[in-house]
Structure 1
């Protein structure tokens, strides 16, 4: 399942959708102090997971990816192809 967590004093969890396959693409976009999380099951069609703003904090923003197995015997995960692109999205809602 794609889940996003934002910590602004306290942590919150937002469940997005169940990933039926073995791969998923994740993207974090930022415009000034506003972030958007998107996910894709094919690497082409993006779904918005979350849109939120961050206040200036004492240590700055820290964004990353994590995988967990809340129940069961655990899981093996590989994050690959992580890159930075200085490109503004055309449409924030559909991730294009």
Structure 2
């Protein structure tokens, strides 16, 4: 089943509240604090401070939203995230990367973070999607909300219930803003992770 935006917002709560948030019946604007991130780099940066607006979901699901980001500093990002704990989580991001370009980035953390850059975007906006089928997670993105491109799939021994939602980070400086629209939750996973359908 799907839910209206207002009904969805009523089910969500904050982990690391942002510097500023604006909410209407169909849109959420998140401005995270500066020097905030969610990463566990091996023998390097460990942070669990990104603003995360989440609900709790049990069993299989598909969660998606349209993100339009204002990315100021390197590694600023808007993301969808699934989280069990500070040491076990995953996110799919629209991120300003080390070369200054904007890419789809995915991070899987099981003790330590394994992150990878995916395709380059012409502008910092896209539809993002996380889907769970059993202990498998699939990550996808779309430019039009219809044709989905495969980013990553992976399995972990997840708990039956997980935190799922939208995240915003600004690791180096303040100024990042993430606009979230068209959020939806379904209890149906994507049938084929590879083709996104």
The TM-score, its normalising length taken from structure 1, stands at: 0.78
Consecutive unaligned residues in structure 1, runs of 5 or more: none
Structure 2 residues not aligned, in runs of 5+: 1-102
- In structure 1, what is the Cα distance between the partners aligned to 2:162 and 2:116? 19
Larger relative contact order (Cα-Cα within 8 Å, sequence gap ≥ 6): 2
Q: Could you tell me which residue of structure 2 aligns to residue 44 of structure 1?
A: 146
Asked if the contact 1:68–1:74 (Cα under 8 Å) also holds between the matched residues in 2, the reply is: no
2: CA distance, partners of 1:67 / 1:51:
22
Q: Which one of the candidate residues 94, 118, 127 is aligned to 1:25?
A: 127
Shift of residue 86 of structure 1? 1.6
2:164 is aligned with 1:55: no
Q: Secondary structure at the match of 1:16?
A: strand
Report the count of equivalent residues: 95
**1:86 correspondence with 2:187:** yes
Measured at CA, do residues 94 and 67 of structure 1 come closer, stay the same or move farther in structure 2, by a change above 3 Å? farther
